[in-house]
Each structure stands twice: as structure tokens, then as C-alpha cells.
Amino acid sequence: MYHDPRSHGLWEKTAPKPPVTSSLEGQERADVVVVGGGFTGLSAALHLSERGIKVIVLEGKEIGFGGAGRNVGLINGGMWVMPKELPDVLGPVYGERLLDLLGNAPFLVREIIEKHQIECQLEKNGTLHCAVGEKGLAEIRERCAQWAARGAPVRVLDAQETADRVGSSAYSGTLLDERAGTLQPLAYVRGLAHAAQTAGATIYTSSPVIDSQPDGEGWAVKTVKGSVRADWIIVATEAYSTGPWKIMREEQVYLPYFNVATKPLGDNVRQTILPNREGCWDTNEILSSFRMDQAGRLVFGSVGALRNTGARVHTAWAKRAMKRLFPQLGEIEFECEWYGQIGMTDDSVPRFHKFAKNVVGFCGYNGRGIAPGTVFGKTLAAHVAGDIAEDALPLPVTDPQARSFRALKEAYYEAGAQIAHFASERI
């Protein structure tokens, strides 16, 4: 996008084309205006349009420009927070609601993909949370026990079965989550846009919102060349927020995350690495993730930004790390390199905000955008349509607050990842 191969990398290279859109010019009227063309916004637009509600989506740049088009592509259930900790953070009522909603969120993603025949390289063989050493093994065992107690299809695999599934003997075990899977994220979000358009939604791109003001019982949402009058506003800009709701960005700290992708591997090597195409990430403090796309490219990622000296440091480290994990790769050449930002809240739990009457949004996905974004979009659609009351939502209403020392913390994460990867001689 915007001729920058390090913004969306492999995903832009291999995704089907987005639907045809234009920028907003003149005045429009809708029941709901959705601000943001990512997973949440387009899921909301799709589910509202299927109800016969008139929706206009305003995307500041292009469909999937933010986190939706840059991530690893893991469809995970739940959040980073351990299941038993969520009721402690949110209270028993909201904690249970959020666990139920997000635990089953991957199934909604599958349902939408199958219903609308979205071509996004969907894989349904689960994910593997890879344990590093005894500490990592204890962590995944506890996470497994907590999810299994809730009836989730999860189990811990021993070191040998892990080696067979991953293609590496680096791990002491893995947590297999059969709810989860992988997809091509930019292809998925573009597919959501096609589906929303087909259902009746109007999508405008290159139309950043610069202002919103009360207009009678509704709202006037303004762009540079136009405006939309609507009864409701759904704010779905998440960590890439600018304009009237930039506070959603300011209440989160950015964690940079990069991905690299090999050229398609030969059949002999491909059969030895993730033969079932599970998505993986490990228990290291500075974690790594890896997965295979359907063409046989190995996609590998970790914390860090591919800019300035980080471009050289992180890609060199990625080659070393991949060779340690998978010696069978031989010489490694990357076809694509790209990076984005993960928005992190202070407690790793998402937020629900009511910015004003009939102006609502979720944010704070903490690196798990696909399934939460999809299900939160559907939830917002049901709330706006009157099917879910405010006090029945999966999160309480909270006021957004800018994080203290945010810029300093972000600089620390970026520099710290460079130092760790430059100095590291272990995975």
C-alpha cells in the first residue's frame, strides 16, 4: 500500500484485490456511520447491513491499512490474559462474558468465511503455543488446564509430538488449541469489505474523519470533501486512530512487530516443517511466531520495527533464529519483510468506550485482532440494532485515558528489541 513493501509485505502481494471504492464527496445520509475499515468496522458494517440497516464506512486510507493488514494471521481464542485472571480484572460478570465471547470467536471467523466464500487461505488445524524450557512448559500446562476446565478443545503435546508437528526439537512441549487456525489477514479483511458491500453497505476510502458534531438527534461526521449524517457512530479505528478519536491510540502503547517470509520452500523441506499448517508462537519474553502460507512460504516474526538500524538487526536475527529452529532450511532468502504496531492496554484487556450518546467503540486488542475484531464488530452491530443493551455487553463502559510516558515506553520497546536481537545467541 502506498508503494511501501514494508507496510503490508506478503499479504499485499498475495491478497485478492479489494472492492472498488471511492473517496467521500458531498453529503450523505445513513443510519450508522462506521469509522475504520478493519476487522471490527467491516464486521459491524456487514452484520448491520444484513439486518437492513443503512451503513456508510469511512476509511481514512485503504481497507486493511492498519493492524488488519499487517499481522501474523493467527486466529486465536481468548486474550493474552489467563482465563482465571479475567474475572479478577473485570469482575465475575464481565469476565465470564468476555471469556465466552472471545473463546468462541474463532468459530465466527470460520462461519463468515464459509458463508461469504472469502478466499483468504483459511487453515483450521489449530495453533501451537510452543513452550521454551520448563518455565514455558509450566505456563502452557496451566493455560491448558484453565481453558480445558471451560470445555475448550485444548491439550498439551509432549516434546516428541511437538517436534513431529513443528519440525524442530527446540521446544519442551506445545499447547494445541483446536479452536484456532490461520488465514491471510489482508485477504480476509478485503473479503469482509466485499461481503459488506454485497449486503448493502457503502464504503468510502481515502476519507479520514476530521470532525464530528451533534446534528439534531444524530451526528454529522465530516471528512475533507464531504459529510455523513447518521444516528449512530461506530468508532473502529483501534490503535491506528487519528482525528476526533485519537484518544483510542493514546490510551495504548505501541509494540512494534515485524514479519519476514521466505520464498516458497521445496516439497522435501516443506513436508518437514508444520506439515499440518498450524500457526505457532513461543513463550519467550520477546516472543517469536511462525506459520506457513498455502504456497509453502515460511512466515516468521518477532518484536521489532524494520526501520533505521532495526531493519538490518532484526532480519539478521531472524535468519539466525530460523536456522536454529529449522536447520533443514539451508540458506535463507526472504521474499518479503514488513512490520506494524500492536496496541497494548495497561492490563492487556480490551476496552469498550461510549464517547457520547450513540457513539461507541471497542479497542485494545493486544495483538489479537482477527477473532476479537470480528466478534466485537458483530456485537456492536447487535447493540446499535437494539438487541444487546449497554449493560449486557461483554465489557463495562470506561472512559479513555491517555497513557503516561507512552512515547518513552514505545521507544524503550523498539530499542530493547533491537538490543536483544543484536546480542542474542539463543532463540
In tens, the pLDDT along 22-69 reads 999 999 999 999 999 999 999 999 999 999 999 999 999 999 999 999
Query: Mean pLDDT over residues 124-138, rounded?
Result: 97
Categorize the per-residue pLDDT at 427 as very low, low, confident or very high, splitting at 50, 70 and 90: very low
Q: Is the pLDDT of residue 425 over 60?
A: no
Contact 399, 350 (CB under 8 A): no
Contact 193, 18 (CB under 8 A): yes
Task: Round the average pLDDT of the chain to a whole number and report it.
Answer: 96
In tens, the pLDDT along 150-190 reads 999 999 999 999 999 999 999 999 999 999 999 999 999 99
Query: Mean pLDDT over residues 367-394, rounded?
Result: 97
Categorize the per-residue pLDDT at 110 as very low, low, confident or very high, splitting at 50, 70 and 90: very high
**pLDDT reported for residue 382:** 98
3-state secondary structure 187-198: HHHHHHHHHHHH
Strand partners, 127: 177, 279
Amino acid identity of residue 358, one-letter, is N
Q: Is the pLDDT of residue 426 over 60?
A: no
Q: How many other CB atoms are found less than 10 A from the CB of residue 90?
A: 21
Strand partners, 215: 218
Burial class for 342, CB neighbours closer than 10 Å (0-12, 13-18, 19+): buried
Measure the CA–CA gap between 194 and 112, rounded to whole angstroms.
12
239 or 288, higher pLDDT: 288
Query: Mean pLDDT over residues 129-152, rounded?
Result: 97
Query: Mean pLDDT over residues 263-281, rounded?
Result: 96
Measure the CA–CA gap between 7 and 27, rounded to whole angstroms.
32
Q: Is the pLDDT of residue 195 over 50?
A: yes
- Closest by Cα among 377, 411, 370 to 394: 377
In tens, the pLDDT along 77-107 reads 999 899 999 999 999 999 999 999 999 999 9
Q: Is the pLDDT of residue 281 over 80?
A: yes
Find the distance separating the first CA and the last CA of the chain, reported in whole Å.
32
Tell me the percentage of the chain whose pLDDT exceeds 70: 99
Query: Mean pLDDT over residues 196-218, rounded?
Result: 97
